[in-house]
Structure 1
Amino acid sequence: MSQQGISLDLDLQIAVDNPRLPTQAEFETWVRAAIGQTKPVVELTIRIVDIAESQQLNSTYRGKDKPTNVLSFPFEAPPEVELPLLGDLVICAPVVEQEAIEQNKPLIAHWAHMVIHGSLHLLGYDHIIDEEADEMESLETQLVEGLGFDNPYKEA
C-alpha cells in the first residue's frame, strides 16, 4: 500500500488567527509520510492553537507551565476494540514560528517536522531515553528529508 493508499480522515481545527499556516493538503501529506505503512485507515485531529491554549494544555497534561511546540494525545482503545482513531495533535503556531526563526529554518520545513514528530508520538515513538531518541530522530530525519526538506536536527 502506498502512502496515498492510506485512508486518512484529518480533522484540522484552526483556533488561532494566522495567515501563514500550512494548507490542509500539506498537513495530510506530512501525516501520511509519518504513518507510512503502519495503518491502512487513520483518523486524527490536528488543532492549531495560540500560546495561551498551548500553555494551559502543557500545564494540565505535562505539568510544565509554558507553551510548547506540539502535544500528542494518543487514543488508546481497549484491546478488543478496533478503531482507526490515532489520536490528537495540538500544535502551537507562535512557538513553531519562533523556533523556525531561532533555528534558521524555513517555516514550512519546521511545520512538516512538528507534524511528523507529533504523529510518530501517536504511533508510540518517544525520546525520553537516549536509545529511543536516536531511533525517533533518525526516522524523523529520514521522513523530513524524504519530503525534500533539510535534516531537522542539523545545526544551522
Structure 2
Amino acid sequence: MGRRTHIVVSLLSPDWREDMPAAAALGRRAVRAALKGAALEGAALAGLASGDAPIELSLVLADDGLVHRLNRQYRGIDRPTNVLSFGSLSAEPAAPADMPVMLGDVVLARETVIAEAAMQGKALADHFSHLVVHGVLHLLGYDHEHAGEAEMMEALEVSVLAKLGIANPYSMEVDPGSPAHV
C-alpha cells in the first residue's frame, strides 16, 4: 500500500497494559493488515482521496462501561459489545491529495474481548487482532447485515488474518445470538 498510515492508540482503560501489554503494537499491525487486505481487494480504498494522501484512524482501548454507553447512545443497544466502529468517511468530495483521510475510530471493550477469547478458546492476541481487523473493515464500508455482505466481509477477514498467522475465527462454533458475537 502506497499510503502512509497514522494510527493513534488511546488507552482509556489502563488495565489493557496488564492484560495485554502489546495491545498497541498488535493493534497497529492489525490495522495495517486490514488496510492492505482491503486495498488488495480493490473496493474500499479506491474511493478515498486521490493520490497518496495519508490515512489516519484512532484505535481506542476502552472498557465495557464506555462501550456499553456508546452502544446504547449510538446503536440503541443497552449492553457492551466487543468492538464498535465510528466511520468518518462521507460522500463529500475528496479532500486535496495532501490532506489526511480520516477513517474514524475503532473502540474495543477490554472485559468483553477477554471474556470472548476465553469462552471461545482463542488466544487473546488473536481475538483482539481479529476484532481490530473487523472494526477497520467496517470503517472502510464493509458490513455483515445481509448474507452476501457477511460472506464477503468474513472472507476478507479470514484472508487478512491468515497473513498475520491467525487461524480462521469463523471455523469455530459461536452462538450468533450471544451478546458477544462479532
Normalised by the size of structure 2, how large is the TM-score? 0.79
Per-residue CA deviations over 1:4-39 (Å, capped at 9, x if unaligned) read: x54111111111122123343321111011111336
Please report how far the alpha carbon of residue 76 of structure 1 lies from its aligned counterpart in structure 2 after TM superposition: 2.7
Question: 1:84 aligns to what?
Answer: 101
CA contact (8 A) 1:6 1:32 kept: no
Percent identity of equivalent pairs: 37
Deviation for aligned residue 1:72: 0.4
Select the residue among 142, 145, 150 that pairs with 2:159: 142
Of 6, 10, 32 in structure 2, the residue corresponding to residue 9 of structure 1 is: 6
Cα displacement (A) at 1:154: 1.1
- Residue 129 of structure 2 aligns to which amino acid in structure 1? A
1:126 aligns with 2:138: no
Distance in 1, Cα, partners of 2:3 & 2:19:
27
Larger radius of gyration: 2
Aligned partner (choices 80, 93, 96) of residue 67 of structure 1: 80
Shift of 1:45: 0.6
**Post-superposition offset of 1:42:** 1.0
Alpha-carbon distance, 1:77 to partner: 4.2
2:122 paired with 1:109: no
Report the CA distance shift for 1:77/1:155 in structure 2 as closer, same or farther (over 3 A): closer
Q: TM-score, normalising length from structure 1?
A: 0.91
